[in-house]
């Protein structure tokens, strides 16, 4: 009998590929054969960004299927991407699985799909394979999307997902509150895209019911109310690469590791780390205010500035800024984030509050300055600021701009109040305990492995 086999398929975005790759590496280290299925477009980006010494190929089989778009199409158009994926990827996944050598019966083969790619479970069901889901977002986010139909039935949103009220909702005591205006599907840029995404969520809620296992990147003490609300969701987090000696993969940009040597030269707990993930963009006015706010704070800062974070990055900085801050700050195109957050020089994390960044910051005991952009990031910000009390948000002016003085003031407030750091260290200790031997997340992961290996 061959090794048990997992076919892992993430949603094609960095915040989804990285954590599922973490799960896949953990499975591989537990004697499971893994085939990791990216879209052709994403696979090319991941391969280009991998360090030359990366040994990811030795640990799993990396394969591709088309996403249904042409090579030059804009994959940040989430509606167009979602539409194309749903039309072409199920059939291509079925062909791929049928062509994988050694899968004659589904006894010890499992499709492990991203929660938001539930259609992959329909393919697994058709082929008689085991079916598992991985949730790359918070359990609170899953609770929200899985209740989309109820929000529609209650008249809180219309059939396209558009908010009909300005109320604040809370699905259960102990879960973060959220303004209806910040619903994840309502945070996209246009109504056409919103309609496609909202419809996809409703359909996904049906296909995910096929799952025999559902795991998530959280831990019991972090989201107790949400985990009680969704009892079929088993936490296996935090998925941090320090558990696997840093064999990290899945990034879309090559990392600039020179920032680690720069951090070595900074005093302990002095650096403001600024990173907004792979999707956030700024207009020129807001970008300049952020730059001036970091300068005004007069603290060492490490700022991840993607080439596409604003229009024409070469002219985006305030005049003379780069020369003025050359001894204070460092800007890089992409950073090895987990290594940065675990560095003793880092004092706080100015973040878009994506779930991966949230988990990585907490796992390293780093308090937050919260600058959410879209999707689940507003919900995560409410966790950070209101429930866990390990960070602060920013206030916008009448024109919707976060001004440089506001940035300076919040940096000062966060770093002069030791309570934020203390509360983060408490959560960090619970995070580490959950994945240690005998911890709840570790036990859940071991049970998953046993189930995959069963005939």
| Placement of tokens 């299925």 in the chain | 37
pLDDT value of position 187: 76
Give 71's pLDDT tier (boundaries 50, 70, 90).
Answer: confident
Number of domains comprising the chain: 2
pLDDT at residue 233 greater than cutoff 70: yes
* Residues 72, 212 within the same domain: yes
Claim to verify: residue 147 and residue 102 sit in the same structural domain: yes
Q: Is residue 427 located within the same domain as residue 443?
A: no
- In this structure, the answer to whether residues 193 and 230 fall within a common structural domain is yes
CATH number of the domain that residue 415 is part of = 3.40.50.2000
pLDDT at 51: 63
Q: What is the pLDDT of residue 46?
A: 81
Does residue 154 sit within a domain?
yes
Task: Tell me whether residue 351 is in a domain.
Answer: yes
Instruction: Compute the average pLDDT of residues 270-279.
Output: 94
| Rg, Å, the chain Cα set | 22
CA distance 435 to 237: 7
> What DSSP assignment string belongs to 345-368?
TEEEEEE---HHHHHHHHHTT--E
Write out the E strands in 264-400.
271-275, 301-304, 329-332, 346-351, 368-370, 391-393
What DSSP element (H or E) covers 34?
Answer: strand 33-39
Same domain, residue pair 284 and 342? yes
- Whether 253 is in a domain gets the answer no
Contact at 8 Å (CB) between 79 and 193?
yes
Instruction: Determine the Cα–Cα distance for residues 183 and 161; give it in Å rounded to an integer.
Output: 9
Asked if 234 and 270 sit in the same domain, the reply is no
39-62 residue pLDDT tens: 999 888 888 777 654 567 778 899
- In which domain, by residue range, is 359 found? 258-431
Residue 225 lies in a domain: yes
**Residue 351: strand pairing partners:** 275, 370
Instruction: Tell whether 447 and 420 lie within a shared domain.
Output: no
**Any alpha helices (H) in 147-223, and if so which ranges?**
148-153, 191-207
Look at residue 309 and tell me if it is in a domain. yes
Question: Confidence class of residue 359 from pLDDT cuts 50, 70 and 90?
Answer: very high
Q: What is the pLDDT of residue 242?
A: 45
For residue 370, is pLDDT > 70? yes
102 has pLDDT over 70: no
Could you say which DSSP state residue 163 is in? B
Query: Is position 251 within any domain?
Result: no
Cα angle, residue 346 at apex, residues 340 and 352 outer, rounded to 5°: 70
Q: Are 407 and 290 in contact (CB under 8 A)?
A: yes
Tokens 């599922």 -> residue: 20
Residue 159 and residue 73 share a domain: yes
Burial label for 1, CB within 10 Å (0-12, 13-18, 19+), is exposed
On whether the CB atoms of residues 323 and 243 are closer than 8 A, the answer is no
In whole angstroms, what separates CA 406 from the centre of its chain?
Answer: 27
**What is the reported pLDDT for 246?**
46
Quick count: other Cβ atoms within 10 Å of Cβ 296? 16
Strand partners, 131: 111
Percent of the chain with pLDDT over 70: 94
Decide if 267 is inside a domain: yes
Per the model's pLDDT, the better-predicted residue between 1 and 316 turns out to be: 316
Rounded distance between C-alpha atoms, residue 354 and residue 279, angstroms: 10
Q: What is the DSSP string of 367-428?
A: -EEE---STTHHHHHHIIIIIS--EEE----TTS---HHHHHHHHHHHHH-HHHHHHHHHHH
Whether residue 41 is found in the same domain as residue 181: yes
Q: Flag whether pLDDT at 401 surpasses 80.
A: yes
Residues 272 and 225 in one domain: no
Q: Are residues 400 and 447 in the same domain?
A: no
How far apart CA 266 and CA 212 sit, in angstroms, is 49
Task: Look over the chain and give the mean of its residue pLDDT values, rounded to a whole number.
Answer: 91
Predicted confidence at residue 312, as pLDDT, reads 84
The percentage of the chain sitting over the pLDDT mark of 90, rounded to a whole number, equals 76
Whether 123 and 147 share a structural domain: yes
Quick one: pLDDT at residue 261?
97
Phi, psi of 13 (to 5 degrees): -145, 150
Does 232 map to a domain? yes
């Amino acid at each position: 009998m061959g090794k048990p086999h997992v076919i892992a398929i993430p949603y094609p975005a960095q915040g989804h590929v990285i954590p599922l790759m973490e799960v896949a590496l953990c499975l591989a280290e537990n004697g499971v054969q893994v085939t990791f299925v990216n879209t052709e477009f994403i696979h090319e980006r991941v391969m280009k960004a991998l360090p030359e010494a990366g040994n990811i190929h030795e640990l799993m089989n990396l394969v591709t299927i088309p996403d249904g778009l042409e090579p030059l199409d804009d994959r940040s158009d989430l509606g167009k991407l979602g539409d194309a994926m749903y039309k072409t990827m199920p059939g291509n996944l079925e062909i791929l699985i049928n062509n994988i050598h050694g899968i004659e019966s589904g006894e010890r083969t499992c499709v492990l799909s991203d929660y938001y790619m539930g259609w992959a479970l329909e393919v697994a069901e058709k082929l008689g394979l085991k079916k598992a889901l991985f949730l790359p977002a918070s359990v609170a986010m899953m609770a929200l999307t899985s209740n989309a139909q109820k929000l529609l039935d209650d008249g809180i949103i219309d059939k396209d997902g558009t908010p009909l009220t300005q109320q604040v909702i809370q699905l259960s005591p102990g879960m973060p509150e959220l303004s209806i205006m910040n619903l994840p599907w309502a945070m996209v840029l246009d109504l056409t895209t919103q309609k496609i995404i909202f419809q996809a969520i409703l359909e996904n809620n049906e296909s995910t019911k096929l799952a025999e296992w559902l795991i998530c990147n959280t831990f019991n003490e972090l989201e107790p109310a949400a985990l009680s609300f969704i009892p079929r969701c088993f936490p296996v987090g935090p998925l941090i690469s320090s558990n696997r000696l840093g064999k990290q993969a899945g990034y879309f940009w090559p990392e600039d590791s020179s920032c680690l040597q720069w951090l070595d030269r900074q005093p302990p707990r002095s650096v403001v780390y600024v990173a907004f993930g792979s999707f956030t963009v700024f207009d020129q006015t807001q970008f300049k205010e952020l730059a001036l706010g970091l300068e005004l704070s007069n603290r060492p800062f490490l700022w991840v500035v993607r080439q596409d974070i604003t229009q024409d990055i070469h002219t985006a900085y305030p005049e003379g800024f780069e020369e003025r801050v050359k001894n204070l700050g460092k800007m890089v195109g992409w950073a090895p984030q987990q290594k940065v957050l675990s560095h003793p020089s880092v004092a706080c994390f100015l973040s878009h509050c994506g779930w991966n960044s949230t988990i990585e910051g907490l796992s390293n005991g780093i308090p937050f300055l919260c600058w959410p952009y879209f999707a689940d990031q507003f919900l995560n910000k409410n966790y950070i600021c209101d429930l866990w009390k390990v960070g602060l948000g920013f206030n916008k002016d009448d024109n919707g701009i976060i001004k440089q003085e506001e940035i300076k003031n919040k940096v000062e407030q966060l770093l002069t109040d030791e309570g934020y750091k203390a509360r983060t260290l408490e959560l960090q200790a619970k995070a580490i305990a959950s994945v240690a031997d005998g911890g709840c997340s570790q036990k859940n992961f071991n049970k998953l492995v046993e189930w995959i290996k069963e005939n």
